[in-house]
Amino acid sequence: MAAGRTGVMLAALGVLIVCVANGSGPVAEGETSGEVEWVEPWDGAVFRPPSALGAVGVAHRTGSPHLGRQETADLPVLLWWSPGLFPHFSGDSERIECARGACVASRDRRKRGNTQTRALLFYGTDFRASDAPLPRLAHQSWALLHEESPLNNFLLSHGPGIRLFNLTATFSRHSDYPLPLQWLPGTSYLRRAALPLQERAEWRRRGYAPLLYLQSHCDVPADRDRYVRELMRYIPVDSYGKCLQNRELPTARFQDTATATTEDPELLAFLSRYKFHLALENAICNDYMTEKLWRPMHLGAVPVYRGSPSVRDWMPNNHSIILIDDFESPQKLAEFIDFLDKNDEEYMKYLAYKQPGGITNQFLLDSLKQREWGVNDPLLPNYLNGFECFVCDHELTRLDAGKAHADSPGDIPVPEPHIAQPAHMDCPMPKPGFGNLEEIPENDSWKEMWLQDYWQGLDQGEALTAMIHNNETQKSKFWDYLHEIFMKRNQNL
């Protein structure tokens, strides 16, 4: 999903500029108050990756790219340390208006040492220990936006890595600015009608499998291909994309798909003919759910899912997906899918959420209603803008608390710093998709690649933490230390 992400993101951010004064919950949410019918965005695609960041453009913007000194003299500066990824304003800096007041969002790294620069903002996929802005300045918060999984940066999945930051916006419900529903536009998206069973039965009679696998990013930390390969021994699976491919997509345009997140109306119509979709995330983390889960539900297929261990908390009802981990083996899972494939009444129970009143999970409904950003929604800001305002409001509050302490040091204590916690990512060590780790040969590419990356992520976090605590400014000493702990770790593997 990260491949080509920068170019796609920049293109999407320019699609539509929408200014809104206030953002409430999405209009379409709510089973009891009436629902706006879901309309496919613009060209008919469900998502233009990365949808949540791109398609709605810029919101809450009142300034111009060329800000005068008087206009911004007393405003806190939020400095993006990922300037190449987020030029979502046309100049180097731009004023933003938020709930508690105004700040300046900037990508000009020359502002890093300024006393006005109160927060450094990082995009997690781009964050590297070698590029960390050291020494860390005492008056600055570090804020992390990272909606992706550990596949993009294992450093952040460890305590020493995530605790480098004060504020977080991640897929976890426990983060400071949670993004667990980043791929779900609203309840009406789930309510889209499924194809009639008669059409799907005809599809099966034409020789297609009951189960679809569409994945072009192979050998990921979740080791999903190993599981699917074993499942194929017990039930037919039509596998498109580059991973375990045994069928060709119907047109050359589809066959050029780089990842499973690329959407097209004709492709969606093709995929909707399958009754079951294998929906396996690239990593296993609490609350990490992507289009691999929500897209099959949108199309009226039943997801056969492995990913977030907490996925049940977010489902429209308690009978809408098949969880791989509920079955003791791929063979048992295959037997259950075959049973549902041959029993229409039992199968349709998994689509009951598409009927009026079928979405019964109040936690899901409340979460959609309460979020302040939208997904492909031209009436709401995207979560990038929302995150900026969240950090701005935090820094304005912190400034007020510091001034209050300065005015009454004996009565008002120094404000305690807010520190991110491991639960803000909550991704355990990668495990095999099938079988035990001991059964996998030592030269296995998955075992070598992802376990090494996992431990190197821990080492980088420990090294960077040591640098910050020791106020060490010489990068050569940092790399000497990093090399030393790498060598120790490799000796223990």
What is the chain's pLDDT, residue by residue, as a tens digit (493 residues)?
A: 443 443 333 333 322 222 222 333 333 334 444 455 555 543 333 333 333 333 322 334 444 444 555 566 789 999 999 866 654 667 788 999 999 999 999 999 999 999 999 999 999 998 988 888 988 899 999 999 999 999 889 999 999 999 999 999 999 999 999 999 999 999 999 999 999 999 999 999 999 999 999 998 898 999 999 999 999 999 999 999 889 999 998 887 776 644 444 567 888 999 999 999 999 999 999 999 999 999 999 999 999 999 999 999 999 999 999 999 999 999 999 999 999 999 999 999 999 999 999 999 999 999 999 998 988 888 888 898 999 999 999 999 999 999 999 999 999 998 899 999 999 998 988 888 878 888 888 778 787 788 888 888 888 888 888 878 765 444 555 666 666 666 665 655 5
Which amino acid does the sequence have at 433? Answer: G
Whether 158 and 226 map to the same domain: the answer is no
Residues 6+ apart with CB under 8 A from 95: 62, 63, 67, 71, 72, 75, 102, 103, 104, 105
DSSP symbols for 143-198: EEEE-S-GGG-GGGGSHHHHTT-SEEEESSTTSSS--TTTT---HHHHTPPPPPHH
- Classify residue 35: in a domain, yes or no: no
Whether 318 and 417 map to the same domain: the answer is no
Distance CA 418, CA 407 (A): 22
Q: CATH code at 336?
A: 3.40.50.11660
- Classify residue 55: in a domain, yes or no: no
- Classify residue 56: in a domain, yes or no: no
296 and 302 Cβ atoms separated by less than 8 Å: yes
pLDDT at residue 491 in the model: 59
In the chain, the N- to C-terminal Cα span, in Å, equals 30
Residue where a domain terminates, one of 298, 333, 367: 367
Angle at 144 between CA 151 and CA 379, to 5 degrees: 100
Which residues, in sequence order, are bridge partners of residue 434? none
pLDDT at residue 490 in the model: 60
Which residues, in sequence order, are bridge partners of residue 146? 170
Whether 480 and 412 map to the same domain: the answer is yes
- Overall domain count for the chain: 2
- Classify residue 201: in a domain, yes or no: yes
Whether 203 and 338 map to the same domain: the answer is yes
- Classify residue 28: in a domain, yes or no: no
- Classify residue 88: in a domain, yes or no: yes
Whether 202 and 306 map to the same domain: the answer is yes
Whether 407 and 477 map to the same domain: the answer is yes
Whether 209 and 347 map to the same domain: the answer is yes
pLDDT at residue 199 in the model: 95
Range of the domain at 134: 77-179+379-491
pLDDT at residue 479 in the model: 60
Whether 269 and 320 map to the same domain: the answer is yes
pTM above 0.95, yes or no: no
Distances from the Cα of 67 to the Cα of 11, 19, 55, 133, 384, angstroms: 25, 19, 26, 25, 21
Mark residue 31 as left, alpha or beta (left: phi above 0; alpha: psi -120 to 50; beta: remaining): alpha
Residue where a domain terminates, one of 335, 367, 399: 367
CB atoms closer than 10 angstroms to residue 436: 8
Distance CA 121, CA 106 (A): 10
Residue where a domain terminates, one of 323, 341, 367: 367
pLDDT at residue 53 in the model: 38
